[in-house]
Structure 1
Amino acid sequence: MKVMIVGGGGREHALGWTLAKSYEGRDFYFVPGNGGTITIGHNIEDLKDNSDIVKFAKGNGIDLT
Protein backbone atom coordinates (compact mmCIF):
# COMPACT_ATOMS: atom_id res chain seq x y z
CA MET A 1 0.00 0.00 0.00
CA LYS A 2 1.23 3.49 -0.85
CA VAL A 3 0.19 6.32 1.47
CA MET A 4 0.60 10.03 0.70
CA ILE A 5 0.38 12.66 3.44
CA VAL A 6 0.04 16.27 2.30
CA GLY A 7 1.70 18.83 4.55
CA GLY A 8 5.04 19.63 6.04
CA GLY A 9 4.43 20.27 9.71
CA GLY A 10 4.63 18.43 12.98
CA ARG A 11 1.12 17.00 12.69
CA GLU A 12 1.94 15.36 9.38
CA HIS A 13 5.14 13.94 10.86
CA ALA A 14 3.25 12.56 13.88
CA LEU A 15 0.55 11.05 11.65
CA GLY A 16 3.13 9.45 9.38
CA TRP A 17 5.18 8.15 12.30
CA THR A 18 2.12 6.57 13.91
CA LEU A 19 0.90 5.01 10.67
CA ALA A 20 4.38 3.70 9.84
CA LYS A 21 4.52 1.90 13.19
CA SER A 22 1.15 0.27 12.53
CA TYR A 23 1.67 -0.47 8.83
CA GLU A 24 5.26 -1.63 8.44
CA GLY A 25 6.30 -2.40 4.89
CA ARG A 26 4.12 0.31 3.38
CA ASP A 27 5.49 3.18 1.27
CA PHE A 28 4.93 6.67 2.65
CA TYR A 29 5.14 9.87 0.61
CA PHE A 30 5.05 13.34 2.17
CA VAL A 31 4.20 16.44 0.14
CA PRO A 32 6.29 18.50 0.77
CA GLY A 33 7.43 16.84 3.99
CA ASN A 34 10.16 18.05 6.36
CA GLY A 35 13.38 16.94 8.00
CA GLY A 36 11.56 14.47 10.24
CA THR A 37 9.35 12.89 7.59
CA ILE A 38 12.35 11.94 5.45
CA THR A 39 13.20 9.35 8.11
CA ILE A 40 9.78 7.72 7.57
CA GLY A 41 9.32 7.87 3.82
CA HIS A 42 9.87 9.98 0.74
CA ASN A 43 9.63 13.78 0.69
CA ILE A 44 8.23 15.06 -2.60
CA GLU A 45 9.12 18.74 -2.60
CA ASP A 46 8.75 19.76 -6.25
CA LEU A 47 4.95 19.67 -6.58
CA LYS A 48 3.63 23.21 -7.09
CA ASP A 49 -0.15 22.94 -6.76
CA ASN A 50 -3.06 20.58 -6.24
CA SER A 51 -3.14 19.42 -9.85
CA ASP A 52 0.53 18.37 -9.57
CA ILE A 53 -0.30 16.44 -6.39
CA VAL A 54 -3.18 14.64 -8.12
CA LYS A 55 -0.99 13.78 -11.13
CA PHE A 56 1.71 12.43 -8.83
CA ALA A 57 -0.81 10.33 -6.88
CA LYS A 58 -2.37 8.84 -10.01
CA GLY A 59 0.97 8.31 -11.72
CA ASN A 60 2.52 6.55 -8.73
CA GLY A 61 -0.40 4.37 -7.68
CA ILE A 62 -1.06 6.10 -4.35
CA ASP A 63 -3.73 4.10 -2.50
CA LEU A 64 -4.52 6.48 0.35
CA THR A 65 -4.12 10.24 0.76
Structure 2
Amino acid sequence: MNCIKCGSSQVHVIDTRAKGPRRIYRRRDCLACGYRWTTVELPAGDLRRAVDALNGLEERHGKKHTAKR
Protein backbone atom coordinates (compact mmCIF):
# COMPACT_ATOMS: atom_id res chain seq x y z
CA MET A 1 0.00 0.00 0.00
CA ASN A 2 1.17 3.52 -0.76
CA CYS A 3 0.74 6.62 1.37
CA ILE A 4 -2.49 8.41 0.52
CA LYS A 5 -0.83 11.78 1.04
CA CYS A 6 2.64 11.57 -0.55
CA GLY A 7 2.45 8.29 -2.52
CA SER A 8 5.46 6.70 -0.83
CA SER A 9 5.56 2.91 -0.56
CA GLN A 10 7.32 3.16 2.82
CA VAL A 11 4.20 2.45 4.87
CA HIS A 12 3.84 0.21 7.87
CA VAL A 13 0.99 -0.91 10.11
CA ILE A 14 1.24 0.43 13.65
CA ASP A 15 -1.97 -1.08 15.08
CA THR A 16 -4.49 -3.75 14.08
CA ARG A 17 -7.88 -4.27 15.70
CA ALA A 18 -10.76 -6.59 14.96
CA LYS A 19 -14.16 -4.99 15.44
CA GLY A 20 -16.77 -7.66 15.31
CA PRO A 21 -16.24 -10.91 13.48
CA ARG A 22 -15.91 -9.40 10.00
CA ARG A 23 -14.04 -6.07 10.19
CA ILE A 24 -10.36 -5.36 10.66
CA TYR A 25 -9.14 -1.82 11.28
CA ARG A 26 -5.48 -1.06 10.62
CA ARG A 27 -3.70 2.14 11.64
CA ARG A 28 -1.00 2.92 9.08
CA ASP A 29 1.99 5.25 9.19
CA CYS A 30 4.04 6.67 6.32
CA LEU A 31 7.75 6.61 7.08
CA ALA A 32 8.43 9.25 4.41
CA CYS A 33 6.04 12.04 5.45
CA GLY A 34 4.70 10.88 8.83
CA TYR A 35 1.05 10.90 7.76
CA ARG A 36 -1.21 8.42 9.60
CA TRP A 37 -4.54 6.98 8.49
CA THR A 38 -6.87 4.08 9.16
CA THR A 39 -7.97 1.41 6.72
CA VAL A 40 -10.88 -0.99 7.13
CA GLU A 41 -10.85 -4.51 5.72
CA LEU A 42 -14.15 -6.21 4.95
CA PRO A 43 -14.97 -9.54 3.33
CA ALA A 44 -15.65 -9.12 -0.40
CA GLY A 45 -19.39 -9.81 -0.01
CA ASP A 46 -19.75 -7.11 2.65
CA LEU A 47 -17.88 -4.63 0.49
CA ARG A 48 -20.12 -5.38 -2.49
CA ARG A 49 -23.24 -4.75 -0.38
CA ALA A 50 -21.80 -1.44 0.86
CA VAL A 51 -20.98 -0.32 -2.69
CA ASP A 52 -24.42 -1.38 -3.91
CA ALA A 53 -26.04 0.57 -1.08
CA LEU A 54 -24.05 3.69 -1.98
CA ASN A 55 -24.91 3.28 -5.66
CA GLY A 56 -28.57 3.04 -4.73
CA LEU A 57 -28.24 6.26 -2.75
CA GLU A 58 -26.71 8.01 -5.77
CA GLU A 59 -29.48 6.74 -8.04
CA ARG A 60 -32.19 8.05 -5.69
CA HIS A 61 -30.63 11.47 -5.13
CA GLY A 62 -28.61 11.98 -8.30
CA LYS A 63 -24.85 12.31 -8.55
CA LYS A 64 -24.97 16.09 -8.12
CA HIS A 65 -26.42 15.66 -4.61
CA THR A 66 -23.99 12.95 -3.47
CA ALA A 67 -20.93 14.77 -4.83
CA LYS A 68 -21.21 17.23 -1.92
CA ARG A 69 -20.27 14.54 0.63
Shorter chain as denominator, the TM-score bin is under 0.3
Higher strand share: 2
TM-score w.r.t. length of structure 2: 0.25
- Computing the radius of gyration from Cα coordinates, the structure with the larger value is 2
Higher helix share: 1
TM-score w.r.t. length of structure 1: 0.26
